[in-house]
Amino acid sequence: MNGSGVNVCAPSTDPTCGGQTHVGGWSGVNWYECVELAQRLYKSMGWYGGIFAGVSYATDIYNNAANLGMTTQANGSITSIVPGDMIVSAGSTYDGGAGHVAIVDSVDIANSKVNAVEQNSYNNQPRTSYGFSNKTLTRTDGATGPIMGLVHSPNDTLSGSSTSTAVWQWYLRSDDTTSGAAYTSFSYGAVATDHPVTGDWDGNGTYTPGIVRNVNGAWEWDLRNDNSDGGAFISYTFGLATDIPIVGKWGTSGISTPGVVRNVNGALVWYLRNNNDPSGGAFTSFSYGAAATDHVVVGDWTGDGITKAGLARNQNGSWVWYLRNNNDASGGAFVSFSYGAVATDTPEAGAWLGNGVFTPGLARSNNGVLTWYLRNNNDPSGGAFVSFDYGSATDIPIVGDWRGNGLSTPGVVRASS
């Protein structure tokens, strides 16, 4: 809650904790049990007047919420979470059937986690975390009974604290033939804050998700190493939130690492990293492209294992592709050709044949669906060798080698609540 809450106190019969007088509690035994924290916070914040009426045990907070002027969301149907909300659990052996309440401190949708604070927990630790996926909170430490749900006060209007639970749902295909559905799907990232990226972060050949999040004006990269529900295996900061985030295998290690493309006085300046360590900067930078006209693309255009820069330039409504064969500080395109329409097509690139050579693709908005048009060469002339429908026009198209077999195939990322 960014320091706007109250002290979390250990079990004690002292009348105050850090200068704050208890609000309720268990007289002569422990003033600072779990319900007392909720009552003291809500009184301090002006969300409720003091001791919760009709509440003897934690479970009563959920069951009596309407009489307290509060709302509930049953576990499994939670669509929004706000710092200050109360997570109420049913009784367990540990609490003698009284139940438990914890207070939401912050929400990390990208990592499927809700951070909370609590008093009188089974281990007397002030902080804990809950898993959050598919509208459901989970807790695996055995400290509480089943989670009943979330209780919210309509008076809880902390500026900037409300967090949408709309998440990115990823749908990955395992082939690029004319028909087929996703072979796997999972949630990762928050729609409100996160930009999806993909890469082979650990060099095992399989592309997995990443998200890039604006944190105080900088890009925070949160990278995962599998294609299922879960959180990041590594996080670090690289680039400004005004930069275009890109990913490639810029060196010979076989590991995908970040890059950013920055508008510097109208020119596009590329900054490339060659590791995923929490600390580190660009190992090379160069200018290539114009911010006013160019869409950034990347790929291994020559099949030598190194990702290089590319541009799709708006020229009279058509995409003209300019591909480089090195990442040196100087140099221009080694080939250019026209492919795609600016008004309808999102440029993509992939190794569609599994031969290591990246060639263009287009994801076209077509009557509410995405139609993919894939090329199998970088010659100045040529069209799609295959086309198919996959995804909705409102989805974000992505590309990756999801199976680690060398074949780039489509995916889409879709907003889902």
Here the CATH number for the domain that contains residue 85 is 3.90.1720.10
In a domain, 137, yes or no: yes
Residue 186 sits in the same domain as residue 324? yes
Structural domain boundaries enclosing 142: 57-162
What per-residue confidence (pLDDT) applies to 2?
65
In a domain, 392, yes or no: yes
Residue 74 sits in the same domain as residue 171? no
In a domain, 10, yes or no: no
220 to 22, 183, 263, 283: CA distances (angstroms): 40, 29, 19, 18
In a domain, 35, yes or no: no
Residue 158 sits in the same domain as residue 232? no
In a domain, 393, yes or no: yes
Q: Which residues of 267-305 are buried (b: 16+ CB within 10 A; e: fewer)?
A: ebbbbbbbbbeeeeebeeebebbebeebbbbbbbbbeee
d(CA 232, CA 240) in angstroms, rounded, equals: 20
In a domain, 262, yes or no: yes
Beta strands, E only, 125-264:
127-133, 136-138, 147-152, 163-164, 167-172, 184-190, 194-199, 208-215, 218-223, 234-240, 244-248, 257-264
> Which CATH number belongs to the domain containing residue 309 in this structure?
2.115.10
Residue 96 sits in the same domain as residue 218? no
d(CA 182, CA 241) in angstroms, rounded, equals: 31
Asked if residue 192 lies in contact with residue 211, where contact means CB atoms within 8 angstroms, the answer is: no
Which residue has 């569609």 as its token pair? Answer: 352
What per-residue confidence (pLDDT) applies to 123?
72
Residue 122 sits in the same domain as residue 252? no
Residue 170 sits in the same domain as residue 293? yes
d(CA 31, CA 54) in angstroms, rounded, equals: 18
Copy the structure tokens of residue 156.
Answer: 């809880």
- Domain C-terminal end among 145, 162, 179: 162
Q: Which amino acid is at 391?
A: G
Residue 177 sits in the same domain as residue 310? yes
- Domain C-terminal end among 162, 196, 227: 162
Residue 185 sits in the same domain as residue 93? no
Q: How many domains is the chain partitioned into structurally? A: 2
- Domain C-terminal end among 162, 195, 224: 162
Residue 209 sits in the same domain as residue 248? yes
What per-residue confidence (pLDDT) applies to 162?
43
In a domain, 122, yes or no: yes
pLDDT-flagged residues of the chain (< 50): 159-162
Residue 337 sits in the same domain as residue 382? yes
Residue 125 sits in the same domain as residue 87? yes
What per-residue confidence (pLDDT) applies to 161?
40
d(CA 271, CA 239) in angstroms, rounded, equals: 8
Helix residue spans in 57-215 (DSSP H): 58-63
Residue 90 sits in the same domain as residue 114? yes
In a domain, 18, yes or no: no
d(CA 82, CA 115) in angstroms, rounded, equals: 11
* pTM for the structure as a whole: 0.67
